[in-house]
Amino acid sequence: MKLKPAQFVGLPFAIATFIGFYLAYMKSSEYALYAAIPLICLSVIFVMSPQINWWWYRRNPPDTPAAITHFLENVPYYRLLSPSLKPKFRQRVALYMEGNQFMRPAPPQEDNRTRNDVPEDLKAAAAASVVQLTFGLEDFLLDKFENIIIYPQAFPSPQFPDRLHLSEVYEADGVLIFSADALVQGLTNQNLFNIGLYEYANAYALQYLKTKPIEWEAGIWDKLALIGGMHEADFQRFFNLPTIHLFGIAVHHFFKLPAAFQKVSPELYQLFEKMFKQNPLNASTPIDL
């Protein structure tokens, strides 16, 4: 198993600690002092391991493992990228997977707790959604939303305890919640709605657009329906939620249906093109090389 940077840094201190305690046990308790100093250093490294790992990875971006690279080939956005852009996309996926907390609900007998053993392909599905959204931006992490909870299927939540729904953003705790089935299917099937793209767009709006909201053109819902074939009421039934976020739907259509979007609403298309520094119509090179 490949060591992470913090583990690599901590390895000499772990060895020194072991040797110190071994000598203290075999020869003299005075050697325990020699174990104490590396043990303290090892404790500091353990506490700081996320920061150490992140510092290293930002300067030496990792690539995705072979299994995740294979998974990404099922993602239309990634598959159509030019060979020169695919490594950058994979590196950002790997960085997002490393830099965020992924959780899944624990079994019923464990009450309302969550567990961290989320399958790697589900982490990659969430990461690929946000990387697609922010691929043209320098700051691509949406760092106010570092917690991702993935349920197997539709779920209730504290905000909507009586509604089984597919996804949600909870700003107070910096949490995004997804149904695994809907997340993967929307990401990999061009004909299905991408809940990951939708919710990450909503998170983007909460992080960056609160003080400068978009002034929507008249009849925007009708135009979005013309682009994607679904009205606001249709999305309310799809998500099983009373409120649907206009920005998330518009951004989703910008990325998934760019030709129709540009034709129906060229001004809004141009606004999003500047906002995200992307032109999805250029599928192989949506961002500047």
235-273 pLDDT, tens per residue?
999 999 999 999 999 999 999 999 999 999 999 999 999
**Alpha carbons 262 and 123: distance in angstroms, whole number:** 32
Q: Which is higher by pLDDT, 17 or 285?
A: 285
Do 182 and 207 contact (CB within 8 A), yes or no? no
Q: Is the pLDDT of residue 212 over 90?
A: no
Does 119 share its domain with 198?
Answer: yes
Mean pLDDT of 138-167: 92
Instruction: Please give the angle made by the CA atoms of 185, 231 and 153, to the nearest 5 degrees.
Output: 30
Signed CA dihedral, 71, 72, 77, 79: sign only: negative
* Residue 289 placed within a domain: no
Residues 142 and 259 in one domain: yes
Q: Is residue 281 part of a domain?
A: no
pLDDT recorded at residue 23: 72
Range with lowest mean pLDDT among 11-25, 89-103, 176-190, 239-253: 11-25
What is the pLDDT averaged over residues 21-40? 71
In a domain, 287, yes or no: no
Cα–Cα dist 155/276, whole Å? 31
- Both 80 and 29 in one domain: the answer is no
Exposure string over 95-117, b if 16+ CB within 10 A, otherwise e: bbbbbbebbbbeeeeeeeeeeee
What backbone phi and psi angles, to 5 degrees, belong to 234?
Answer: -65, -40
Measured torsion, CA atoms of residues 212, 213, 218, 219, in degrees rounded to the nearest 10: 160
Which of the pair, 78 or 27, is modelled with greater confidence?
78
User: Could you tell me which residues are beta bridge partners of residue 105?
Assistant: 114
* 151 belongs to a structural domain: yes
201 Cβ neighbours under 8 A, 6+ residues apart? 133, 245, 247, 248, 251, 252
Whether residues 167 and 251 share a domain: the answer is yes
Token pair for residue 131?
A: 């990387």
Identify the pLDDT of residue 165. 96
Burial class for 210, CB neighbours closer than 10 Å (0-12, 13-18, 19+)? exposed
What's the number of domains the chain is made of? 2
Are 39 and 182 in the same domain?
Answer: no
**Mean pLDDT, rounded, for 55-72:** 82
* Domain identity same for 125 and 227: yes
What local confidence, expressed as pLDDT, does residue 141 receive?
Answer: 83
Residue 56 domain flag: no
**78 in the same domain as 28:** no
Residue that finishes a domain, picked among 50, 71, 87:
50
- Domain residue limits at 103: 61-276
Distance CA 149, CA 155 (A): 11
Residue 43: is its pLDDT beyond 90? no
Verify that 9 and 96 share a domain, yes or no. Answer: no
Q: For strand 114-115 and strand 101-105, is the pairing parallel, antiparallel, or unpaired? A: antiparallel
**Per-state percent for the chain, helix, strand, coil, to nearest 5:** 60, 10, 35
In this structure, the answer to whether residues 177 and 37 fall within a common structural domain is no
Residue 176 lies in a domain: yes
> How far is Cα 97 from Cα 194, in angstroms, rounded to an integer?
19
CATH number at residue 209: 3.40.390
Which regions of 76-183 does DSSP assign to beta strands (E)? 101-105, 114-115, 147-151, 167-170, 175-179
